[in-house]
Chains A and B, each alone.
Chain A
Amino acid sequence: MKELTNKTVKQLVSGLEAKEFTCLELIRAYIDNIQKKDVLIGAYLEADLYKAEEQAKYADLQREKGRHTSPLCGIPFAVKDNICAKETKTTCASRILEGFTSPYDATVISNLKSHGMIVLGKTNMDEFGMGASGESSAYKITKNPIDTTRTAGGSSCGSAAAVASNQAPFALGSDTGGSVRQPSSFCGLVGIKPTYGSISRYGLVSFAPSLDQIGIISKTVEDNAHILNEAWGYDKKDATSIKGERPDCLKDIDRGVSHMTVALPYEIFDMDILPEIKEATMNTAELLRSLGCNIINCKLPDMEKLTACYFILSCAEASSNLARYDGIRYGNRAKEYGSIEELYINSRSEGFGEEVKRRTMLGTFALSSGYYQKYYISALRMKGAIENEYKHILKSCHAILTPTYPTTAFLLGEKKTALDSFKNDLFTVGANLSGLPSITLPVGRDKNSLPIGISLMGNYMDEPTLYRISNAIEGGLS
Chain B
Amino acid sequence: MTNKYQAVIGLEVHVELNTVTKIFCSCKREFAAPPNSHICPVCMGLPGALPVLNSKVVEYAVKAGLATNCKINEISKHDRKHYFYPDLPKGYQISQFDLPLCQDGYITIKSGEVDKAISITRIHIEEDAGKLIHEGDNTLIDYNRCGVPLIEIVSAPMLSSGKEAKEYLQKLRTLLIYSGVSRCEMNKGEMRCDVNISVKEKNNSHNGVRREIKNLNSFQFVAKAIEREFERQVKEIEEGKTITEQTLGYDSKEDRIFVMREKESAADYRYLREPDMPPIYVDRQTVEKLRKELPKMPDERKRIYMNDYSLSEYDSETLTANKELSDYFEMTVKHTSTPKLLANLLLGEYSRLNKTPQFTCPIPPENTAALCNLTASETINSSNAKKLALLMWNEGCEPYETVKRLSMEQINDKDMLTKIAVNAIESSPKLIEDYKKGKKQASKAIMGRAMGISKGNANPILLEEIIEKLLKELTT
B-contacting 9-mer, from A57-65, A196-204, A457-465 = A196-204
A114 close to B (CB within 8 Å): no
B90 and A324 within 8 A (CB): yes
Interface centre among A92, A209, A323, A368 (most CB of B within 10 A): A323
Give a binary string over A63-104; 1 marks a CB under 8 Å from any B CB, 0 the rest. Answer: 000000000000000000011100000101000010010111
Give a binary string over A238-260; 1 marks a CB under 8 Å from any B CB, 0 the rest. Answer: 11100000000000000000000
A367 and B86 within 8 A (CB): no
8 Å CB contact of B50 from A102, A201, A319, A369: A201
A422 / chain B contacts, CB cutoff of 8 Å = none
Give a binary string over B254-277; 1 marks a CB under 8 Å from any A CB, 0 the rest. Answer: 000000000000101011110111
A340 close to B (CB within 8 Å): yes
- Given A83-B48, A92-B47, A326-B91: A240 and B277 within 8 A (CB)? yes
Q: What's the minimum C-beta distance from A295 to chain B, rounded to whole angstroms?
A: 36
A329 close to B (CB within 8 Å): yes
B41 close to A (CB within 8 Å): yes
9 sampled A-B residue pairs with Cβ under 8 A:
A84-B47, A103-B41, A204-B48, A209-B276, A239-B52, A328-B89, A367-B272, A368-B268, A376-B272
Instruction: With A237-B52, A380-B273 given, name 15 new contacts (CB 8 A).
Output: A83-B48, A90-B48, A100-B47, A201-B50, A202-B50, A203-B48, A206-B47, A236-B52, A239-B53, A239-B277, A240-B277, A326-B91, A340-B86, A364-B270, A369-B266
A368 / chain B contacts, CB cutoff of 8 Å = 268, 270
Assembly CA distance A202 to B40 (angstroms): 13
Q: What's the minimum C-beta distance from A433 to chain B, rounded to whole angstroms?
A: 13
A192 close to B (CB within 8 Å): no
Taking CB as reference atom, which chain B residue is nearest A105? B48
B50 / chain A contacts, CB cutoff of 8 Å = 201-202, 209, 237-239
A316 close to B (CB within 8 Å): yes
| Interface residues on chain A, size class | 35 or more
8 Å CB contact of B275 from A203, A208, A340: A208
Assembly CA distance A164 to B82 (angstroms): 41
A344 close to B (CB within 8 Å): yes
Taking CB as reference atom, which chain B residue is nearest A200? B50
Q: What's the minimum C-beta distance from B157 to chain A, rounded to whole angstroms?
A: 22
Q: What's the minimum C-beta distance from B24 to chain A, rounded to whole angstroms?
A: 9
A126 close to B (CB within 8 Å): no
Q: What's the minimum C-beta distance from B113 to chain A, rounded to whole angstroms?
A: 45
Taking CB as reference atom, which chain A residue is nearest B80? A320
Assembly CA distance A82 to B44 (angstroms): 18
8 Å CB contact of B276 from A240, A328, A380: A240
A372 close to B (CB within 8 Å): yes
Assembly CA distance A90 to B46 (angstroms): 11
8 Å CB contact of B47 from A205, A209, A317: A205
B48 and A317 within 8 A (CB): no
B278 close to A (CB within 8 Å): yes
8 Å CB contact of B92 from A103, A202, A323, A344: A323
A206 and B272 within 8 A (CB): no
Assembly CA distance A100 to B92 (angstroms): 21
B49 / chain A contacts, CB cutoff of 8 Å = 104, 202-203
B84 and A239 within 8 A (CB): no
Q: What's the minimum C-beta distance from A439 to chain B, rounded to whole angstroms?
A: 24
B448 close to A (CB within 8 Å): no
A330 / chain B contacts, CB cutoff of 8 Å = 46
A240 and B278 within 8 A (CB): yes
Taking CB as reference atom, which chain A residue is nearest B47? A205
A452 close to B (CB within 8 Å): no
Taking CB as reference atom, which chain A residue is nearest B85? A340
B84 and A317 within 8 A (CB): no
Assembly CA distance A205 to B48 (angstroms): 4
A322 / chain B contacts, CB cutoff of 8 Å = 91
A206 and B82 within 8 A (CB): no
B51 / chain A contacts, CB cutoff of 8 Å = 239
Closest 4 CB pairs of A and B: A323-B91, A210-B275, A367-B270, A209-B275
Q: What's the minimum C-beta distance from B297 to chain A, rounded to whole angstroms?
A: 33
Assembly CA distance A83 to B52 (angstroms): 19
B80 / chain A contacts, CB cutoff of 8 Å = 320
A106 close to B (CB within 8 Å): yes
Main secondary structure of the interface of A (DSSP, over half): loop
B45 close to A (CB within 8 Å): yes
A92 / chain B contacts, CB cutoff of 8 Å = 47
Taking CB as reference atom, which chain B residue is nearest A344? B84
8 Å CB contact of A328 from B86, B92, B266, B272: B86
Listed in ascending order, the chain B residues whose CB lies under 8 Å from chain A are 41, 44-53, 80, 82, 84, 86, 89-92, 141, 266, 268, 270-273, 275-278
A203 / chain B contacts, CB cutoff of 8 Å = 48-49
Q: What's the minimum C-beta distance from A213 to chain B, rounded to whole angstroms?
A: 12
A237 / chain B contacts, CB cutoff of 8 Å = 50, 52
Taking CB as reference atom, which chain A residue is nearest B78? A239
Give a binary string over A308-319; 1 marks a CB under 8 Å from any B CB, 0 the rest. Answer: 000000001101
Q: In chain A, residues 186-234, which have Cβ atoms closer than 8 Å to a Cβ of chain B?
A: 201-206, 208-210
Assembly CA distance A302 to B275 (angstroms): 24
A208 / chain B contacts, CB cutoff of 8 Å = 275
Assembly CA distance A380 to B279 (angstroms): 14
B46 / chain A contacts, CB cutoff of 8 Å = 102-104, 330
A323 / chain B contacts, CB cutoff of 8 Å = 82, 84, 90-92
Assembly CA distance A82 to B50 (angstroms): 14
Assembly CA distance A102 to B48 (angstroms): 9
B91 and A324 within 8 A (CB): yes
A210 / chain B contacts, CB cutoff of 8 Å = 275
A90 and B52 within 8 A (CB): no
Taking CB as reference atom, which chain B residue is nearest A364? B270
A104 / chain B contacts, CB cutoff of 8 Å = 41, 46, 49
B273 / chain A contacts, CB cutoff of 8 Å = 380
B82 and A320 within 8 A (CB): yes
Taking CB as reference atom, which chain B residue is nearest A209? B275
Assembly CA distance A93 to B50 (angstroms): 21
Assembly CA distance A11 to B141 (angstroms): 53
A320 / chain B contacts, CB cutoff of 8 Å = 80, 82, 91-92, 270, 272
Taking CB as reference atom, which chain A residue is nearest B265? A369
Q: What's the minimum C-beta distance from B321 to chain A, rounded to whole angstroms?
A: 40
Q: What's the minimum C-beta distance from A101 to chain B, rounded to whole angstroms?
A: 11
Q: What's the minimum C-beta distance from A338 to chain B, rounded to whole angstroms?
A: 13
A317 / chain B contacts, CB cutoff of 8 Å = 272, 275
Assembly CA distance A237 to B272 (angstroms): 21
Assembly CA distance A319 to B47 (angstroms): 14
Assembly CA distance A476 to B424 (angstroms): 123
Assembly CA distance A410 to B46 (angstroms): 35
Assembly CA distance A376 to B268 (angstroms): 15
Taking CB as reference atom, which chain B residue is nearest A343? B86
Assembly CA distance A208 to B49 (angstroms): 14
Assembly CA distance A206 to B276 (angstroms): 9
Assembly CA distance A325 to B50 (angstroms): 16
Q: What's the minimum C-beta distance from B118 to chain A, rounded to whole angstroms?
A: 29
Assembly CA distance A317 to B89 (angstroms): 17
A238 / chain B contacts, CB cutoff of 8 Å = 50, 52
B276 and A316 within 8 A (CB): no
A84 / chain B contacts, CB cutoff of 8 Å = 47-48
Taking CB as reference atom, which chain B residue is nearest A380? B273
B272 / chain A contacts, CB cutoff of 8 Å = 316-317, 320, 367, 376
A202 and B48 within 8 A (CB): yes
Q: What's the minimum C-beta distance from B268 to chain A, rounded to whole angstroms?
A: 5
Assembly CA distance A90 to B48 (angstroms): 10
Assembly CA distance A326 to B84 (angstroms): 8
Assembly CA distance A102 to B266 (angstroms): 38
